[in-house]
Copies of this chain bind each other. A is one copy, B any other.
Amino acid sequence: MGTSVTRVVLREQVKELILERILSGAYEPGERLVETRIASELGTSQAPVREALRDLELLRFVESEPFRGARVRAVSQEELVEIYPVRAALEEVAAREAVRRLDGDVDALEAEVEAMHRAADANDLHAQVEHDVAFHRLIVEASGNQVLLETWLALRIEARTIITAVRTGLDGHAIAELHRPVLDAFRRRDAELAATTLRRHLEHFGEMLKGADSP
């Protein structure tokens, strides 16, 4: 078998591995994921693989039918676009509440914007996306609404933002600067302005993605 650094739960290791392969494209959209084949390849039994696939199905990364197995779910252009109105609605609500709770304390937010710039300098797309997502996540977390956070997390933003970034082909510094008006609104403790600005920020990305080339 492969690397035998036995972490805690085998299922989790398998899940991470499969997810990594899906996101990297090693497993292509539509490709079948045969439980027994993956199991023997990893040197485990069918059970952990099966559980990992089930998790990934509920996370919307694979889809499966009874007795017909699992396959990699294709993420359509349409779906990427459809996320933005949902994000916009959720984050608008989050922002309004977060402004009150943060009360002008924007250090963490500012740090993410600066980290975005550094990542752009280094041409590190992965880091760029990571800090972009972190910026938005900070706001949703600061809302203090646990359900809101869980709902937002369920959108799996981090996994899809990379695709978006690639498809729109925007400059890293430009993306980072787009966060500045949101930051300013938070600093000025203007809840309505922050909510509106953030919503527009997201709708803006949605529009750009809509205009981008379909794969």
Contacts and interface: CB of A to CB of B under 8 A. Distances in A.
A184 B8 CA distance: 56
Interface residues of A, number: 30
- How many copies of the polypeptide does the oligomer hold? 2
A19 B151 CA distance: 21
Interface string A127-167: 00000000000000000011110110011000000000000
B54 A148 contact: no
B8 A83 contact: no
Going nearest first, the 9 A-B pairs with the smallest beta carbon separation are: A82-B147, A58-B58, A89-B89, A89-B93, A82-B145, A9-B66, A86-B148, A83-B147, A85-B93
12 contacts: A8-B66, A51-B51, A55-B58, A79-B146, A82-B147, A82-B148, A85-B145, A85-B148, A86-B148, A88-B93, A89-B90, A151-B155
Interface of A: 8-9, 47, 51, 54-55, 58-60, 66, 78-79, 82-83, 85-86, 88-90, 92-93, 97, 145-148, 150-151, 154-155
